[in-house]
Amino acid sequence: MPFSTLGLSDPLLRAIADAGYTTPSPIQSQAIPAVLKGHDVLAAAQTGTGKTAGFTLPILHRLSQKSYSTNRPVRVLILTPTRELAAQIGESVSKYGAHLHPRLKSEVVFGGVKINPQMMRLRGGVDILVATPGRLLDLVNQNAVKLNNVETLILDEADRMLDMGFIRDIRKIIALLPKKRQNLLFSATFSEDIRKLTTGLLVNPVKIEVAPRNTASELVEQVAYLVNKAQKTEVLCHLIKQNNWQQVLVFTTTKHGANRLTEKLNKVDIKAAAIHGNKSQGARTSALTGFKAGEIRVLVATDVAARGIDINLLPHVVNFELPRAAEDYVHRIGRTGRAGEEGQAISLVSHDEYNALRLVEKLIKKEIKREQIAGFEASAVAPPVPAEPPRGPRPSRKPNQARKPGANQAARNKLKTANA
Ligand code: AMP
Q: What CATH number does the domain containing 238 carry?
A: 3.40.50.300
Going through 284-342 in order, the beta strands assigned E by DSSP cover 298-301, 316-319
Tell me how far CA of residue 36 lies from CA of 6, 11, 206, in angstroms: 9, 15, 12
Last residue of a domain, one of 153, 181, 209: 209
The answer to whether residue 394 is domain-embedded is no
Q: Whose CA is nearest to atom 18 of ligand 1?
A: 21
pLDDT band at 171 (very low <50, low <70, confident <90, very high): very high
Which residues on adjacent β-strands are paired with residue 207?
42
Same domain membership, residue 193 and residue 85: yes
Check residue 413 and give its pLDDT: 43
* Domain end point (choices 371, 389, 415): 371
Query: Is residue 193 situated within a structural domain?
Result: yes
376 in any annotated domain: no
Nearest one of 192, 229, 183 to 379, comparing CA atoms: 229
37: domain range? 3-209
Residue 403 vs residue 286, higher pLDDT: 286
Task: Specify the 3-state DSSP secondary structure of 420.
Answer: coil
Alpha-carbon span 188 to 389, nearest angstrom: 42
Q: pLDDT at residue 409 above 60? A: no
Distance 25 CA to ligand 1 centre (A): 8
CA of 96 to the centre of ligand 1 (A): 12
Domain co-membership, 176 together with 75: yes
Same structural domain, 308 and 193: no
pLDDT tens across 264-316, in order?
999 999 999 998 878 777 888 888 889 988 899 999 998 877 765 656 557 88
User: Is 382 part of any domain?
Assistant: no
Q: 87 with 141, same domain?
A: yes
Closest residue by Cα to residue 85 from 284, 269, 355: 284
Amino acid identity, position 164: M
Same domain, 169 and 117: yes
Can you tell me which atom of ligand 1 is nearest the CA of 47? 2
Check residue 293 and give its pLDDT: 86
Task: Give the Å distance between the CA of 78 and the centre of ligand 1.
Answer: 18
Q: Which of 23, 310, 335, 341 to mutate to test the pocket of ligand 1 (most atoms within 8 A of CB)?
A: 310
Q: Best substitution site from 78, 84, 214, 338 to test ligand 1's pocket, by max atoms within 8 Å of Cβ?
A: 338
Q: Rounded distance, CA 291 to CA 272, Å?
A: 9
> Ligand 1: which residue has its CA nearest to atom 10?
312
Q: What is the DSSP letter of 127?
A: S
Q: Is residue 181 part of a domain?
A: yes
Q: What residue's CA is closest to ligand 1, atom 9? A: 50
134 with 241, same domain: the answer is no
Q: Are residues 361 and 226 in the same domain?
A: yes
Look at ligand 1, atom 19, and give the residue with the nearest C-alpha. Answer: 24
CA distance 267 to 168: 44
8: CB partners within 8 A, 6+ apart: 16, 32, 36, 57, 58, 61
In terms of domains, do 96 and 133 share one?
yes
Question: Contact, 54 vs 27, CB < 8 A?
Answer: yes
Q: What are phi and psi of 193, to 5 degrees?
A: -65, -40
In a domain, 413, yes or no: no
Contacts of residue 60, defined as CB under 8 A and 6 or more positions apart, other chains included, come to 12, 93, 96, 97, 100, 104
Same domain, 189 and 229: no
Tell me which of 208 and 281 has the higher pLDDT. 208
The single-letter DSSP state of residue 346 is E
- State what percent of residues in the chain have pLDDT above 70: 86
pLDDT single digits (tens) 383-400: 876 655 554 454 444 444
Look up residue 360 and give its amino acid: V
Looking at the 3D structure of the chain, how many domains does it have? 2
Mutate-to-test residue for ligand 1 from 12, 18, 25, highest number of ligand atoms within 8 A of CB: 25
Ligand 1 centroid, distance to 71 Cα (angstroms): 33
Residue 48 CA to ligand 1 centre (angstroms): 6
- Tell whether 65 is covered by a domain: yes
Look at residues 157, 183, 209 and tell me which one is the last residue of a structural domain: 209
| H helix and E strand count, the chain | 17, 14
Look up residue 93 and give its amino acid: V
Both 89 and 231 in one domain: the answer is no
- Nearest alpha carbon, ligand 1 atom 5: 50
Mutational test site, ligand 1, from 52, 91, 92, 313, max ligand atoms within 8 Å of CB: 52
Residues 231 and 150 in one domain: no
| Domain annotation covers residue 403 | no
Clarify whether residues 116 and 38 are in a common domain. Answer: yes
How many CB atoms lie under 10 A from the CB of residue 418?
14
Q: Which residues, 6 or more positions from 228, have their beta carbon under 8 angstroms from its beta carbon?
A: 350, 351, 376, 378, 379, 382, 383
Could you report the per-residue pLDDT of 5-56, keeping only the tens digit for each?
A: 999 999 999 999 999 888 999 899 999 999 999 999 999 887 778 899 999 9
Nearest atom of ligand 1 to the alpha carbon of 45: 2
Q: What is the distance between the alpha carbons of residues 93 and 97, in angstroms, rounded to a whole number? A: 6
- Global pTM reads 0.62
Specify whether the CB–CB gap between 43 and 51 falls below 8 A.
yes
353, 251, 309: which is closest to 88 by C-alpha? Answer: 309
Which residues line ligand 1 at a C-beta cut-off of 6 Å? 21, 24-25, 28, 47-53, 310, 312, 338-339
